[in-house]
Structure 1
């Protein structure tokens, strides 16, 4: 079964090696440097410079249509031969939001409330970035259902950082 793998920045090498990931989406603040694990194909690494904010703020880069379009396009071109690794700084906001969007791009027949429940079951800590979710809702034609489902999911449990978790791509439910 194809699956998405979510983690924080300091876990990307461990996650990629342990799970055999060869493709990766990074959602990291502009100018933040990090080392791409050697097992990740440089041609299949999408590096998006975006801050963990929901709306425009002076000096920071808010998630925009162009960022979410690239997540959707990258996910749709994922070969599914190995897990797709998606990470951000702490693994609790940007990467879970991008994971939900990628999952819906791959399997659009999923129920929005069910995908939110699956995300919460996968990690008690996640609070998906509302800006990424709102843009994904629009781009994927969810008519507000995805926004409502993620809002109903509520804020994740307090933590300073998330942990590696698997998110299966399902065709429905």
Structure 2
């Protein structure tokens, strides 16, 4: 099971889900105490800003960030839950969750996984830069990008509500894979 949440909901989400793996996607300098349930080796900490185009003084998501995420989730056996979080639980974490679902389900329809993400979270607005990098690294030929584009921007929210990420794609009319 994979659950997405904001930084504010992190301790409670880890406790309630029984998670033993954690992915943090956060801006440099943000203090993120690692919950005691998570061993240091089971915590991936990626530091970059939630931007889609480079900006002076900010670190954009890059290929190295996505490669590290793919390596980390690729080593996960799924026996214990994993939590993926960012500051608000809306953009970086939802992108990482979608990327994780696509990586773990290489045979699954990208549009269906994106639709399942939208059904699980009305506010999910995955970071397009992260998704585009992963699309290339996973050889998805633009289908991940198209899937996220199809679900559109999520509902406005200061922070997302914690949700479980479906690893099974939702049916999408006119799309087969």
TM-score using structure 1 length: 0.95
Q: CA deviation at 1:31?
A: 1.4
**Are 1:123 and 1:165, in contact at CA under 8 Å, matched by a contact in 2?**
yes
CA positional deviation for 1:112? 0.9
Shift of 1:79: 2.4
**How many angstroms apart in 2 are the aligned matches of 1:131 and 1:171?**
22
**Once the 2 structures are TM-superposed, how far is the Cα of residue 171 of structure 1 from its aligned partner?**
8.2
2-side partners of 1:104 and 1:154: how far apart? 18
Q: Distance in 1 between matches of 2:32 and 2:82?
A: 18
Spell out, residue by residue over 1:153-173, the C-alpha distance to the aligned partner (whole angstroms, 9 max, x if none): 101011111010001323897
Any stretches of 5+ residues in structure 1 without a counterpart? none
Q: CA RMSD in A?
A: 1.3
Tell me the distance in 1 between the aligned counterparts of 2:136 and 2:6.
27
Q: Where do 5+ consecutive residues of structure 2 fail to align?
A: 172-177
Correspondence 1:126 to 2:130: no
Aligned residues: 171
Q: Which runs of 4+ in 1 moved over 3 A?
A: 170-173
Verify: 1:45 aligned to 2:77, yes or no.
Answer: no
Asked if 1:161 corresponds to 2:159, the answer is yes
